[in-house]
Structure 1
Amino acid sequence: MKTKEKVVPTEYIVPFILITSCFALWGFANDITNPMVEAFSRIFNMGVGGGTWVQVVFYGGYGAMAFPAAFYIRKYSYKSGILMGLGLYATGALLFIPANSIGMYYPFLIAYFVMTCGLSFLETSANPYILFMGPDSTATRRLNLAQAFNPMGSLTGMFIAKTFIQARLDPRGADERALLSPEEFNQLKVHDLDILSSPYIAIGGVIIAVFLIILFAKMPKNEESSHDLNFFGALKNLMKVPRYYEGVVAQLFYVGAQIMCWTFIVQYGQRIFMEQFGLTAGDAAQKAQLYNIFAMGSFLVSRFICTFLLKYIRPGRLLMILSVGAIFLSAGTILFQDIWGLYCLVGISACMSLMFPTIYGIALRGMGEDAKFGAAGLIMSIVGGTFLPKIQAWVIDQGSLFSLPAVNVSFAIPLFCFVIIGIYGYRTFTIHYYAD
């Protein structure tokens, strides 16, 4: 149903642009980091399961800090939450300096955890802040518009990962590195860690600059804002709304599916390019990362298209349609063992483009002040990015299953996630119907 109300009222244009820039910044962090699972696995000569600890701590930081962030912005303001998030983001990025000097895996995990505690503050603050910047009737479209800039940051992160990290890392794989002497292996590790750390240190400086701009900018305040920290009252209100708590579940599975599709596309493509094209492990990883960039490009284009379609199609219905598309493409990713499977995996990203902000907007619509704690629940659901990829990594390390490469079979887990999301979309426009 088409609406004549402005998506972003004139008085909110500048604040909207500033906060939308934060969407790009956390997109950069997410998608420069996904390929690092393979990079750390290679640098420290670990299996895929060892490398996925990056994802566990990265998305664990979101879960650990979501409700503390909600308490903080409830007591202070959305702007304060944004500034706290940027401060922690910059601190975590700059912790790559001592982590690189130490040269061990775990200091990098600490740096990622601190950084994502900041990202949790940013997402818990920025998403409901965007919903606040205009009429309730256009809130979902407004959030989709802001979220459309998230994949721009993601594309930048992927490009940096491919061009300035993966292309410059030593291409030798695990078997070749295992043959090196301890001295040679350590020299190689130092070289690779220097390359890996540099982009994170650079983004830390960028984040400091954005922090200062927002600090001195005039930002809107919610005049009805209350500093009463009635967490249990807010939780009770939220639990009375099925489309909210079902949205938290749907969001958990969405984030898990997104991380799995964007992380393990490297391993999926790497197998194809090594076995069928004879590339080395390093060159195959670079080639696979190029397809990850294609996937993000389709995600970006689809996000703008879907934001337009929301003027005419109810959010829940469009969410269900795209979920069905993702299910079929996931099946192709599992069954095809050649480049066509990789094409299907790339196509899943176009279907995912609408999902996060639409689930978010549906779940929080009309929540008022309870949206601050409600946002925390939805951000906490990002912990789906911790255990689901870990399960998929375990499957991948099995080698082969059911006469198929294990990496192919592992995409049955994202397929299941899209089934859950599709059910939520269906229930939204049938059982949890609301007027646009």
Structure 2
Amino acid sequence: MTDSKNIKIAIILVTSLFFLWGVSYGLIDVMNKNFQNHLHVTQHESGFLQLAYFGAYFIIALPAGYIANKYSYKVGIMFGLALYAIGSLMIIPATNLASFHLFLFAFFILACGIGSLEASANPYMVKLGDEKNASFRINAAQSFNGFGQFLGPIIGGALFLSITKQGQSASKEQIEAALVENMGNVQLVYVGIAAIVILILIAFALNKIPEGSAVNSDYKQKDYSKSIEVFKHRHFNLGLLAQFLYIANQVAAGAFFINYVVEHNENLKDEQGAYYFSIALVAFMVGRIVSTPLMKKIKGENILGIYSLINTILCIGLYFVHGFLSIVLLIAVFFFMSISFPTIFAIATKNLPFNQVKLGGSLLVMSVVGGAIMPSIVGLINDHYNTSMGYLAMAPLFLYVAWYGFFGSKIKV
């Protein structure tokens, strides 16, 4: 009875983590436009924010996994929460000095914490109960993650992007006042996040969180000495590249969403662009909800291929359209990206020997480093040409993912 109660408490606490990193992800893309507006960085430079954020995932993934394996999931989660809180509090000196470089360092530490949480919370949620209901638990938790992503741009749009410099004719005093107000709001949001994170950290510390056989009757240690042989499977190697390229596109598409819709719609303000971005993230959630049942009738590989091919066409279309249609097409891109990460993950690890799945899964999670690289590249293209060209550059990457779905995933060893 006690174990059952502890498992329920653990599920509630771990689900809160999904919401926390959802909010962070929803805010990070708004910060790109915010820094362009108030810290006067270029789109290429603002892409460094994603470099710091998703580069942290790549760096922290293996150390976080080591901590969770050597000690416990609870220790791994508390380690991640501590880093998340520290990174959030480092926003204080960054806002006081209005320093883009300090912001980059603060978000790097914050993202190290989130990367640690993801490395522990995802597999832990799967193990918190019987295997039959594992998919339900992880999807239920992901729904809170989606809500957090939706909420982030609304907060950022209202508190950050609503503050303007009163146009090109603004005086030095007006620009300074707008900067001070903006930095104050940024600080307020992240100090609030830090307070919530610390409270959840205390909750984890005070509660007995079950581990090992207490949460899963099939739990036992395995020999992973031959896990490196995962690279002998061509469908896995090709999938690793597909995941890297997909995440590169997903992150870049979000990073410059507001830039694109404002550039292609006269009189549309940044704040309104942030609201449309929230709608895009809702479309992302809806796409996953609507498409998942289709996989009972259509192979996931084929859905991945069809959706990625559609996104290739949409990215080409984004180069030519303007007005409200450009917003509709860009939101559609998010709908058709929705199933890509979990589907590529499942396809790439399909038929792998058990002792290779753990390393294979870790490598696929580390492939989010694609999201650290692509925004700077797209930002550079945007600075020299326009955002239409930036989205056009994503088309070949989606085309490779489509090829992987239709053909590459079926290649044998």
Alignment TM class, shorter chain as reference: 0.7 to 0.9
Aligned residues, how many? 404
- Residue in 2 that maps onto 1:73: 68
Going from structure 1 to structure 2, the CA distance change for 1:184 and 1:146 (only over 3 Å counts) comes to: closer
Q: Which amino acid aligns with 2:388?
A: N
Instruction: Output the CA distance in 1 between the equivalents of 2:77 and 2:161.
Output: 31
Contact in 2 for aligned 1:162/1:289 (Cα 8 Å)? yes
Deviations 1:138-180 (A, max 9, x none): 766764454333221100111111122212x22446x556xx5
Selected match of 1:411 from 367, 391, 396: 391
Report 1:335-354 matches (<5 A): 335-354=320-339
Say if 1:140 and 1:240 are closer, same or farther in 2 by CA, change over 3 A: farther
* Aligned counterparts of 1:148 and 1:184: Cα–Cα separation in 2: 41
Aligned to 1:286: 271
Structure 2: runs of 5+ lacking an equivalent: 214-218
Which residue, out of 237, 243, 267, partners 1:251?
243
Between the aligned partners of 1:25 and 1:371, the Cα distance in structure 2 is 27
Contact kept in structure 2, 1:127 and 1:375, CA below 8 Å:
no
Aligned partner letter, 1:266: I
- Please state if 1:260 is matched with 2:246: no
Out of 228, 238, 256, which is 2:230 matched to? 238
Shift of residue 206, structure 1, vs aligned partner: 1.2
Alignment of 1:147-186 (within 5 A): 147-167=142-162, 169-172=163-166, 175-176=168-169, 180-181=171-172, 185-186=175-176
C-alpha deviation, 1:115, in angstroms? 0.3
- Consecutive unaligned residues of structure 1, counting only runs of 5 or more, are 1-8, 400-405
Which of 49, 52, 57 is matched with 1:54 structurally?
49
Counterpart of 1:389 (choices 372, 375, 379) is: 375
2:95 matched residue in structure 1: 100
Pair 1:315–1:147, CA change in 2 (3 A): farther
Shift of 1:212: 2.6
Q: Residue 233 of structure 2 contacts residue 412 of structure 2 at CA under 8 Å; is this kept in 1?
A: no
String of CA shifts for 1:316-354, please: whole Å, max 9, x gaps. 232223222222222222221332122100111111111
* Other-structure match for 1:207: 197
Distance 1:213 1:369 in 2: 34
| Structure 1 residue 372 displacement after superposition | 4.5
The residue type paired with residue 170 of structure 1 is: T
Instruction: After TM superposition, give the deviation of residue 260 of structure 1 in Å.
Output: 1.5
Which of these residues, 310, 334, 355, is aligned with residue 295 of structure 2? Answer: 310
Match of 2:22 in 1: 27
Q: Counterparts of 2:250 and 2:60 in 1: how far apart (Å)?
A: 21
Distance in 2 of aligned mates of 1:39 and 1:30: 15
- Within-5 A mapping of 1:82-161: 82-133=77-128, 143-161=138-156
Aligned to 1:3: none
Contact kept in structure 2, 1:316 and 1:428, CA below 8 Å = no
User: Residues 144 and 303 of structure 1 are in contact (CA less than 8 Å); yes or no, is this contact kept in structure 2?
Assistant: no
Between the aligned partners of 1:369 and 1:225, the Cα distance in structure 2 is 13
SS in 2 for 1:287: helix
Asked whether 1:421 is paired with 2:401, we answer yes
Q: In 2, distance between residues paired with 1:334 and 1:135?
A: 48
Q: 1:10 to 1:238 in 2, by over 3 A?
A: farther
Q: Is the 8 A contact 1:158 1:292 kept in 2?
A: yes
Q: 1:308 to 1:90 in 2, by over 3 A?
A: farther
Q: CA deviation at 1:187?
A: 4.4
The residue that corresponds to 2:216 in the other structure is: none
Alignment-derived partner of residue 5 in structure 1 = none
Q: 1:148 to 1:431 in 2, by over 3 A?
A: farther
What is the CA distance between 1:127 and its match in structure 2? 2.4
TM-score, normalization by structure 1: 0.83
CA gap 1:69/1:245 in 2 versus in 1, 3 angstroms: farther
> Please, what TM-score do these two structures have when normalized by structure 2?
0.87
Identity among equivalent positions (%) equals: 28
Supply the RMSD in Å over aligned alpha carbons.
3.0
Equivalent position to 1:380, from 363, 366, 391: 366
Deviation at 1:17, TM superposition (A): 4.2
Question: Any conservation in 2 of the 1:65–1:120 contact (CA below 8 Å)?
Answer: yes
Q: Would you say the 8 A contact 2:47–2:375 is kept in 1?
A: yes
- Residue type matched to 1:419 in 2? L
Q: Measure how far apart 1:40 and its partner are.
A: 0.6
